[in-house]
Structure 1
Amino acid sequence: MLEDIEMDNCALVTVIVPVYNHEDYVEKALDSILMQKVDFKYLVYIGEDKSTDHTREVLKKIQGKYPENFIFIYREVNYGMKNFYDLYERIESKYYIVLEGDDYWCDEHKLQIQVDFMEQHPEYMVVTHNVNVVDDKSEPRAIDYPSIPEGEFNIWDFREERFPGHTSAKLFRHEFYETKKGYMERFPELIKYPGDQIEAFLLAAHFRTFCMPEKMSCYRFVTDKGSSYSANFVVNEKTILSKIEFIRANLCYAREHDCAGDIIKVCEQLYVCYTVKHRKVLGMSRSQMIKECLTVRYKLSSYGYTIWRMIKFVGRKLGTMLGIYSRAGKI
């Protein structure tokens, strides 16, 4: 461990690689780090989280081909999301980035480009970029990742569920982790909630984030197999309640930290919208829902946003129905 710390103190960037059931992908991920052409030192922590497939055997077989700055950590028990946070706690470098074991970088200059930007622009907490979306064979998929295409990320992007880049794309200053850690200590019930959504809120609430238009990494989007979030996510009562819990936590956080008016306004808009839309899931009567919605500061803005979202929802439903009838030759 002391050797790791000494290496970390010399490293400008730490790459965190959480690995779980990635037997078919992890070598490609690590090779994409190894191919980086940089003029600085970096450290890689690979956290293998007691996989149930052959990931551990694959890593032990290929471990010898990587240099000593690749540190392999094999868990004796499954940590789950704590695998990520344990790896975060090991960071001592100025910058860090996360590359999950099923994704990979596709530009050998990616890290150098991002570090150069951050060194030249101290006003930004994060620099990110666009990504390619690929399948389990690393073939392109005809979908786009929902991130902003270029420029600065803001709270209005967050409200409309546009992200500040995929996890594999975001290079952070180390200080950001302290903010995220404080959030997680305040809301430990969100330990299993998607970290990229938590990061998006905190970035919008406190910091400046710049997105480059280039595509320098690949996000593996596989929904029909595997143990990834995408493969296992379903919309049901549990996930709806989890989303509302996240929205409520953000509103609480924004108020406690005296965030700017637009931050609180968006948090209230989302809170009212989801409360109205899912009052039955929340077990609320109409009077309870109305009473809850009256607690917000920006009432007209929150109610207006909720009505706008409802109109959009009805419009989509109507468009879908008209499309069905049109294809059936009924209109």
Structure 2
Amino acid sequence: MLDLQILIPVYNKGKYIEDALTSVLGQETTYTYEIIICDDASTDDSQTIIDQFCQRYPQKIRSYPNASNAGCLGNSIRCYEKAGARYVTVLDPDDYWTDPHHIQAALDFLDGHADYTVFMSNTLLEENGKQRPYHSGMSRTFGFDHLSGAVAGHTSATFYRNCGAFAENIDVLRSKVGTPQEKIYEGESFRSLLHLARGKGYFDPTIRSVYRVLDTGIWMSLSVSEQHYLNSEFYAEMLQFFDGRGATYFLEMAEKSSGAAAPFVEDLPPAAQVKFWETYLSVVAARNKTTGAESPTFAFLLPSRTVGGYEFLFTRLARALADDLHFQVFFIDYKDGVCRRMLSGSGVKMIEQGSELKLLQGGLLVFPATLGFELPVITGRNVRLLSWFAHPKSFEWLCYRTSKTGEAAKQHIEWLHAFRSLIFMDWSCWKAAERVLNATFTRNFVPVYATQKAISRTGGFHEPGYVNIAWLGRLDDDKFGAINPLIENLANLRDSVRVRLHVIGDGNMRSRLEDACARLSVEAIFYGTIIGEELDRYLVSNADIVFAMGISSLEVANLKIPTVLTFLSEGAANFDSYLWLFDSPQFSLGMYLDELAAADNLPVHQLSEIISQLKVPNAISNLGQKCFEHAASKHSEASVLGRLINAGSSAGALHGASPPSLFKRSMRRALRALRLAKG
């Protein structure tokens, strides 16, 4: 029986493979070995070079070229299938060995230590003509149950005992080919874990190989965002693959990797973004289950006796964090508050407004920016805060609500920013804060979300010869500047297109808007307020396109109806500018004209252009699908919860108890530091 097989999966590495083969064939060893090469239908001269070496060393090299390209994992599996020696190592064809006693050192150790399945040496990382050690530190032993001390050895320096790890998992690996998880199983990290599950590992700091860093490699061919994303996916996948074994390590690493990946999520395709946040939440939930009573604490501050957007958003988040993700969650409301009623039957613990809030170490309090001066007394070490700007007018409302001067409120906001405690619902809220305060803030976005729908729109126009347009939203003063211009613009089109306007919503401006439609001869149906499944059925059955703002726009997009965002003019002269939901910048769901002027190159359209786009064949279905995909990737429940948790973990910690005056000592220190930093 052979002592060792060196497996070399190859694809287009003709420039380097001679170095790899020569370094193996130059080994001085008492052990028997052979080289197994599987070329994956290379389009360069790789196979020609392999054939030449086979002719020169027929007793040492076996070549198994693929008739067609099988992909990285598929080709690796082909190599694994040939593994029948006592020991196995994998050598990438662009790397090479530098120590002629590499085989001897590895097999001597493994022969002398039957309980070890992995032997790793150090390697040199070669990049841009420079070399440096891949690892630093002393020799060490590690195992699967103590992975925090393990060494992630490089492929070129790792040898395995052939203990059945490959053979017994071939079918599992085959099932991963062509799936989103395929890349997770391609490299040495998985191979090493597979063998560490069956024995111990040993790291020898002696350098015995060179790892060439090439932009065509498995890892380096990925963007930074893809690398972070793959890391987070890897640890989450390993948690499942090993059925909970090593859970503490995998959960810790998955959460760290997800935190590092979060800032780059927007670089991923929409489907990958959704998958990332779903994976992140599954890791968080598993972590919280294992920690039990020691799981992190969330608290929400929203004393309220009326139902609005904040109430729906905060109660949905609180319920999901407590019931689905196993956080300890508190909610501060009046004794007879609406949020208390909305959270009835959940795992959220209610605290009466005015009571002291006790949080575990590292606990987080989330509150609307407008309540920044009304925080409760908080006790707990390393408490963190998140102040949520969910409306472009949040700063003005903060001043109005608290009768604070603009300067006092500005200091309050600067203090929160110094502690990384500001989050913004969207680009519009962030830009408004910068404009009003004449300051620069980090773009820390936690958007809103809407629930998924059981039905969706299909097909083209509902009614031949008509375009059925809907407005969804309140008809109050703050929305008048959005719907009134829409009515006026529809009136200007009545000679060129037949339009029916469905107005869904109610408010103190309804009669004025009804008068405007009658005066301008705009055919309109004022349906009043409808919600839930009744609303969904009405929109799917009647609307070809919907104009909306805020969460309403997401409710529509989740029905796969073409969705257009409106702007607010605040009494300005009539304007004719609209934006498709999928073109909105960084989670924006409508904005004021002041913010529109500050946005760069937004693809705004006049109403006539929007309607013309609908008349292109299949446009209604295609535009509805694009709006749906945008909402699903940017505004899913998983992505919002994930962003909130990640923002909370990044917020600065405040030490000790807090007086109602908002951590005065910490605030003074933070502002003093800001002034010093500004010189």
Structure 1 length-normalised TM: 0.73
Equivalent in the alignment of 1:233: 222
What amino acid does structure 1 have at the position aligned with 2:291?
Y
Q: 1:195 to 1:149 in 2, by over 3 A?
A: farther
- Percent of aligned pairs with the same amino acid: 22
Matched to 1:90, the amino acid is K
Pairing partner for 2:30 from 32, 35, 39? 39
Which of the residues 107, 120, 124 maps onto 1:115? 107
Match of 2:182 among 170, 188, 191: 191
Q: 1:128 aligns with which of 120, 131, 154?
A: 120
Name the residue aligned to 1:153: 142
CA deviation profile, 1:252-283 (whole Å, cap 9, x unmatched): 234x3x63xxx211222234445666397447
Corresponding residue for residue 236 of structure 2: 248
Structure-1 separation of matches of 2:39 and 2:91: 13
1:91 to 71, 77, 83: 83
Stretches of structure 2 that go unaligned for 5 or more consecutive residues are 266-272, 297-360, 365-381, 383-645, 653-677
- Contact 2:288–2:295, Cα closer than 8 Å, also in 1: no
**More off after superposition, 36-45 vs 90-99:** 36-45
Q: Which residue number corresponds to residue 50 of structure 2?
A: 59
What's the offset of the Cα at 1:77? 0.8
Query: Normalized per residue, which structure has more helix?
Result: 1
Q: Quote the Cα distance in structure 1 between the aligned partners of 2:12 and 2:100.
A: 26
Greater Cα shift, 172-181 or 271-280: 271-280
Partner of 1:167: 155
CA distances 1:33-65 after superposition (whole Å, capped 9, x unpaired): 111112222121111111122222232344322
Aligned equivalent of 1:14: 5
Cα offset for 1:181? 4.1
Letter in 1 for 2:250: C
Counterparts in 2 of 1:294 and 1:221: CA distance versus 1, 3 Å: closer
Aligned-residue offset at 1:313: 7.7
Aligned residue number for residue 324 of structure 2: none
Could you tell me whether the CA contact under 8 Å between 2:41 and 2:65 is conserved in 1?
yes
Could you say what the CA RMSD is over the residues aligned between the two structures, in angstroms?
3.9
**TM-score, reference length from structure 2:** 0.38
CA distance in 2, matches of 1:214, 1:17: 23
CA contact (8 A) 1:129 1:169 kept: yes
1:86-128 deviations in whole A, cap 9, x for unaligned?
A: 1111111111111111111111111011111111110101111
Distance 1:52 1:302 in 2: 53
Amino acid across the alignment from 1:150: S
Match of 2:60 in 1: 69
Contact 1:147 1:165 in 2 (8 A): no
C-alpha distance in 2 between matches for 1:163 and 1:290: 23
Aligned match of 2:203: 211
Aligned residue for 1:192, secondary structure, equals: helix
CA contact (8 A) 1:38 1:109 kept: yes
How many angstroms apart in 2 are the aligned matches of 1:49 and 1:272?
A: 35
- The Cα shift of 1:191 comes to 2.6
Give the direction of change, closer, same or farther, for the CA distance of 1:134–1:240 in structure 2 (3 Å limit). closer
| Range that drifts further, 49-58 or 213-222 | 49-58
Q: Which of 82, 86, 93 is matched with 1:101 structurally? A: 93
Q: Identify which range, 83-92 or 63-72, moves more after superposition.
A: 63-72
Does the 8 Å CA contact 2:139/2:205 hold for their aligned counterparts? yes
- In structure 1, what is the equivalent of residue 253 of structure 2? 270
What amino acid maps onto 2:40 in structure 1?
Answer: D
Q: Between Structure 1 and Structure 2, how many residues are aligned?
A: 293
Deviations 1:307-328 (A, max 9, x none): 999999899xxxxxxxxxxxxx
Rg larger for = 2
